Amino acid sequence: MKKDFYEILGIDKSATPEQIKKAYRKKAIEYHPDKNPGDKEAEEKFKLAAEAYEVLSDPDKKARYDQYGHAAFENGGGFNGGGMNMDDIFSQFGDIFGSAFGGGGFSGGFGGFGGGAGQRRMKGSNLRIKVKLTLEEIANGVEKKVKVKRKVRAQGVSYKTCSTCNGSGQVMKITNTILGRMQTASTCHVCGGTGQIIESRPPQADAQGMILQDDAVSIKIPAGVADGMQLKVSGKGNDAPGANSIPGDLIVVIEEVEHDTLKREGENLHLDLYISFAEAALGTSKEIETVNGKVRIKLEEGIQSGKILRLKGKGVPSINSYGNGDLLVHVNVWTPKTLSKEQRQFFEKSLTDDNFVPHPEKSDKSFFEKVKDMFS
């Protein structure tokens, strides 16, 4: 089982953003590859700390993690979660290390982060799409194929070293102050910190060497997702300039399509079942719809309106793999709005019949007790 993100960083759920950042910096410096060359265990802990910080430092991701746990990001379908590499970490969180490793540079040969040069590997922008899912698809999981229009590097684009920063990605500035000469470094304004600029590009490419391309992306969506949940497909966003750049991610927002008869409440489902006076008095069997097909249920004779039948395990699966919710069938006895002469005479005679006078038993729960049971 995957280790808890809060445990990885050594903090609790009430930690402030500053405490989360401080805890991550401490762990990252402790397990940094420059301090632990060739240590695979330290490298893995370094990646885990970065993954934990990526989620807990983002309020939206943190809220989803607190609600759904690792399943909000891990589902075996190519979504990011445990899949961060060194390039992802250094490109996203390199600024947190400050001068702990030679002014922001990183050795160790991870994607061009060389020995304090300051050159950073660019990551492309993320793309965001909505995917509509039926209740049946949510209950059973589904694989969706979508078309995404994304920026990719054009064929034939070549790069050369930026002459302004000499490939370092940074420019140095010396300023005379009353305290003496001070040297500061800033991101190169010409190459944007990549250390490279375009040498040649085909005519159809834009100024950054990019073209728009339609890509087909297959998305495996796990069972139990909820409306508004966001999933991430790594590397399916826009490309970024530079020969060593990495693409952004595709953010998939789940949109739940309302079912005609079934109403969802978390992992439980609700169904209103209407029956006639005759069916309630004599008993009957009814075929009802579930997310996995139709099933037949038996209603005993004398069943009362408001009775709730619970079908165990016929609800929506838990995204945390805690099993399925239930299907709650709400029985409603339908009162006819018009009566024939014979029907009216029958009910008029029944008014004085003791068998038709309400005699609720102690075991018959009140409306408020049923509501309480439903939410417990």
| 5-21 residue pLDDT tens | 999 999 998 899 999 99
The per-residue DSSP string of 50-114 comes to HHHHHHHTSHHHHHHHHHHGGGGT-SSSSBSSS---HHHHHHHHGGGGTTTTSTT---S-STT--
pLDDT of residue 184: 81
DSSP 356: G
pLDDT of residue 117: 41
pLDDT of residue 305: 92
User: Percentage of residues in the chain with pLDDT exceeding 70?
Assistant: 82
pLDDT of residue 323: 87
H helix or E strand, kind and range, residue 216: strand 210-221
Q: Which fold has domain 124-154+209-257?
A: HSP40/DNAj peptide-binding domain (2.60.260)
Within 13 Å, how many C-alpha atoms sit on residue 366's CB side? 2
Q: Which fold has domain 263-375?
A: HSP40/DNAj peptide-binding domain (2.60.260)
Q: Which residues contact 284 (CB under 8 A, 6 or more apart)?
A: 275, 298, 299
pLDDT of residue 19: 92
pLDDT of residue 101: 46
Where in the chain are all domains bearing CATH 1.10.287.110? 1-121
The residue-averaged pLDDT of 144-157 equals 93
Arch. (CATH architecture) of 1-121:
Orthogonal Bundle (1.10)
Using the predicted structure, report yes or no on whether residue 105 has a pLDDT greater than 50. Answer: no
Rounded Cα gap, residues 170 and 105, in angstroms: 11
Cα distances (Å, whole numbers) of residue 150 to 157, 194, 274: 17, 21, 50
If you count them, how many residues does the chain have? 376
Rounded Cα gap, residues 183 and 21, in angstroms: 27
Within 13 Å, how many C-alpha atoms sit on residue 327's CB side? 21
The structure tokens listed for 192 are 């944007």
Cα distances (Å, whole numbers) of residue 95 to 25, 33, 112: 10, 16, 16
For residue 317, give the 3-state DSSP assignment.
strand
Where in the chain are all domains bearing CATH 2.60.260.20? 124-154+209-257, 263-375
* pLDDT tens digits for range 61-103: 888 888 878 777 654 333 344 455 555 565 555 555 544 444 3
- Provide the pLDDT confidence category of residue 39 given band limits of 50, 70 and 90: confident
Taking the model in full, what pTM does it have?
0.61
Angular region, 267: left φ>0, alpha ψ -120 to 50, beta rest: alpha
- Mean of the per-residue pLDDT values of the chain: 83
pLDDT of residue 96: 54
* pLDDT tens digits for range 267-276: 999 999 999 9
Rounded Cα gap, residues 29 and 276, in angstroms: 71
- Provide the pLDDT confidence category of residue 137 given band limits of 50, 70 and 90: very high
CB 104 within 8 A of CB 98: yes
